[in-house]
Structure 1
Amino acid sequence: MAGRPDLGRADLVTMLAELNATPVEQVSERVGSMELAWLVHLVEQRYDRRLDLTDEQLASVRTVDDALAVFHASLTAAADG
């Protein structure tokens, strides 16, 4: 997979909805540590690769959009490397 991964915001929201057993419309923009761990796990499974995230990257994730940006950076770096 070259370039930008096909992971989108809707994918992350759907993953969070499944975790919290809520409709996607009710998923919070905020991402806590449990939600982040869940998202990392699912993204790693989906792309069959380990996300090599730094403590700084993990600490920067507070919202769904933050998570998407961090995951894209990691997946793109892995695809390019």
Structure 2
Amino acid sequence: MTMLAELAAKPAAEVSDRIGSMELAWLVHLVEQRYERRLDLADDDLARIRTVDDALVVLRASLTASADD
């Protein structure tokens, strides 16, 4: 929520848990920067992300998979 709050320039408590395409691109960018890894997300993975919880599941799985490589 904090990462999305940066994009919206709002307090985290005021940010919706719904994720649109701009929020998704922002999250992927920030996660790649923070963990210094390029995420290889398939279109199916991206399509599954509609909420913050969805993003956590998909991004965590991608980070775990890339760490195993």
TM-score by length of 1: 0.83
Residue deviations 1:2-56, cap 9 Å, x none?
A: xxxxxxxxxxx10000100011101101000000000000000001110000000
1:17 pairs with 2:5: yes
Deviation, 1:80, is 1.4
- What percent of counterpart residues are identical? 72
Instruction: Find runs of 4+ consecutive structure 1 residues off by over 6 angstroms.
Output: none
Q: 1:56 aligns with which of 37, 44, 49?
A: 44
Q: Which residue of 2 aligns with 1:32?
A: 20
Q: Which residue of 2 aligns with 1:45?
A: 33
Structure 1 segments unaligned to the other structure (5+ residues)? 1-12
TM-score by length of 2: 0.97
